[in-house]
Amino acid sequence: MEDILKLLGGAAATMLLAFVVGATYGGLVRKIIARTQNRVGPPWYQNFVDISKLYMKDTAVHHGVMQHIGPAFAITASVTVLMFVPVLREGGWFPWFENLNFKGDIIFLIYMMVFGSLGMALGIGQTGNPNASIGVSRGLSMMVGYEIPFVLSLVSVMVQTHTTSITGLMEWQTQNGWLMFEAPFAFITMLLAILGMFHYAPFDIAHAPSEIASGPPSEFGGKYLAMMMTSGSIFAFAKLVFLVDVFMNGASNLVMLVVKTLLLYMVPVLYGAVSPRYRTEQAIRYLWGWPVFFGIIALIYSIYI
Amino acid sequence: MDTNDKGVRKIVDMITGFARSNSLFMLAYGTGCGDIEIPPAMTSRYDWERFGYRKMATPRQADVLLISGYLATKTLKRVIRSYEQMQEPKYVVAFGSCTINGGMYWDSYNTIKMLDHYIPVDVYINGCMPRPEAVMSGLFDLQEQIKKGEANGAQKYRENLEWYRGNQKKVIKNWVMPEYNW
């Protein structure tokens, strides 16, 4: 009984950590984008204020059952991904709770990361808003674009280290050095793939502010939007921690974790802050061009090293 | 814990007031010339994002409906649809003299004169056109009202729906909308 309580407590604490760090990063990103545009920008805690206000709003919209389930799918997928990613290198990060981070393997995570978007797409389909449908079709096309370099990069890492488990990868890195340097082409491929993955400009075609209303969430307001923002914060944190685990040997304490994830996060953010928006076919052509080229080189490199 | 206790109520009101007033999502309904004052207010010159204001693209996500300028009877219909699709709590800010008394369109045959007869307005910003400073000063007033819990236009609309509906149907001849646009 006590073990279960410890596990549940650890899971809740991990979720809280992911939400707080993810939402703070979101606020920082808004600030950074504002500074690049020579503005002052909102305070760093603006995302918390927005989310708490949205949770206090009425939500009297009904389009069908799937519309209500869609945001729940998104948050379920985010939390599941988070639960399978080890936050720190040495087990639990929270002193008196066990961590619920299983020694999950990468192939499962590749599948699980898509689940939230697909659930959202189902929910959005029922709202019948044309802008939202355009957003979904763009988002799923983009997914086809970035998943290929993403998977190529991870497969080459798995071939090189002969393991598919994340903890196994971290053990390998402790002995042989960071995969960032041991598998440089895989890392370059991943850097190019996460440009598309985080949906910042020039790859913000799915949400496309002021082009197709606000894209997929057009018909979702109030609590559902808050749920999506919460899920987005958790998912961003989970993805970043996953990438840090795979390429930078995880982190031994929370400070190092924040430093490493923030450095990695700045790549898509800063690239996005100075970029305009691609069209759908331009985005896919970009993602199937150099990233896939580097991905194939990474695969060849990993076989012959 | 007694949720009707005065002290508890006060703390809850303070938190909701802070969150609601510091995170205003705007739906700018660019009917008239007033919409040209919004880009300078939101971009680097006046930068209203530092107060937590943000432009939203759909009525579902918005808190504030900015009516920027005169309303023809045709656009009034769209404004009503947008307003009723917004989720409570919702506020209306009206720009320019056109929304107050018709302004330079006071004797026009197809514009409305007093917006307050058709949808409840929380804050008026007068001027023709109000400058971005005036727009932001009006929004500060709205923030103060929200903090005090006085910005209850949506409640007024719900309670006097028949009166508003009557006024709206008087000017909109081809009323082909449902009775309330959820």
pLDDT (tens digit per residue) in B164-173: 888 888 888 8
Question: How large is the angle between the packed helices A184-197 and A280-287, nearest 10 degrees?
Answer: 170
Domain presence at residue B52: yes
Q: Which of A37, A60, A210 sits opposite B182 (nearest CB)?
A: A60
Residues B133-157 have a mean pLDDT of 88
Domain presence at residue B179: no
Q: How far does the CA of residue B106 sit from the closest CA of chain A (Å)?
A: 33
Q: How confident is the model at residue A96 (pLDDT cuts 50, 70, 90)?
A: low
Q: What is the CATH number of the domain that holds B38?
A: 3.40.50.12280
Q: How far does the CA of residue B169 sit from the closest CA of chain A (Å)?
A: 25
Domain count, chain A: 1
Q: Do A42 and B49 touch (CB under 8 A)?
A: yes
Q: Which of residues 173-212 of A touch B (CB under 8 A)?
A: 209-210
Q: How many CB pairs under 8 A join A and B?
A: 88
Q: Which residues of A touch B61 (CB under 8 A)?
A: 214, 217, 220-221, 225
**pLDDT for res A94:** 67
User: What does each C-alpha distance from A156 to A297, A303, B67 come to in angstroms?
Assistant: 9, 8, 56
Tokens 């809280």 sit at which residue? A16
Cα–Cα distance measured from residue A302 to residue B126, given in angstroms and rounded to the nearest whole number: 68
| Residue A282 forms contact with B (CB below 8 Å) | no
Q: Residue A104: is its pLDDT beyond 80?
A: no
Q: Which of residues 87-116 of B touch A (CB under 8 A)?
A: 87-89
Q: How confident is the model at residue A89 (pLDDT cuts 50, 70, 90)?
A: confident
Q: Residue B11: is its pLDDT beyond 90?
A: no
Q: Which of B47, B56, B87 sits opposite A57 (nearest CB)?
A: B87
Question: What mean pLDDT is reported for chain B?
Answer: 86
Q: How far does the CA of residue B44 sit from the closest CA of chain A (Å)?
A: 5
Phi, psi dihedral angles at A111 (to 5 degrees) = -70, -45
Domain presence at residue B177: no
Residues A270-289 have a mean pLDDT of 89
Cα–Cα distance measured from residue A165 to residue A173, given in angstroms and rounded to the nearest whole number: 12
- As a three-state string, the secondary structure of A188-221 is HHHHHHHHHHCCCCCCCCCCCCCCCCCCHHHHCC
**pLDDT for res B100:** 87
Q: What is the pLDDT of residues A149-205, one digit of tens each?
A: 999 999 999 998 888 888 888 888 888 888 888 888 999 999 999 888 888 888 888
Q: Give the residue on A whose Cα is nearest the Cα of B43.
A: A39
Q: How confident is the model at residue A148 (pLDDT cuts 50, 70, 90)?
A: very high
Residues B42-69 have a mean pLDDT of 87
Burial of A60 (0-12, 13-18, 19+ CB in 10 A): exposed
Phi, psi dihedral angles at B68 (to 5 degrees) = -105, 80
**pLDDT for res B113:** 85
Residues B135-160 have a mean pLDDT of 88
Q: Give the residue on B whose Cα is nearest the Cα of A212.
A: B57
Closest CA to A149 of A203, A201, A223, A226: A203
Interface confidence: ipTM more than 0.85: yes
| Residue A53 forms contact with B (CB below 8 Å) | yes
Q: What is the pLDDT of residues A19-62, one digit of tens each?
A: 999 999 999 999 998 998 888 889 989 999 999 999 988 887 78
| Residue A37 forms contact with B (CB below 8 Å) | yes
Q: Coil, strand or helix: which one is A289?
A: coil
Q: Residue A292: is its pLDDT beyond 90?
A: yes
**pLDDT for res A125:** 83
Q: Give the residue on A whose Cα is nearest the Cα of B62.
A: A221
Q: How far does the CA of residue A76 sit from the closest CA of chain B (Å)?
A: 22
Q: Do A218 and B57 touch (CB under 8 A)?
A: yes
**pLDDT for res A123:** 84
Cα–Cα distance measured from residue A287 to residue A195, given in angstroms and rounded to the nearest whole number: 9
- As a three-state string, the secondary structure of chain B is CCCCCHHHHHHHHHHHHHHHHCCCEEEEECCCHHHHHHHHHHCCCCCHHHHCCEECCCHHHCCEEEEECCCEHHHHHHHHHHHHHCCCCCEEEEEHHHHHHCHHHCCCCCECCCHHHCCCCCEEECCCCCCHHHHHHHHHHHHHHHHHCCCCHHHHHHHCHHHHHHHHHHHCCCCCCCCCCC
Host domain of residue A102: 2-304
**pLDDT for res A209:** 77
Host domain of residue B36: 6-171
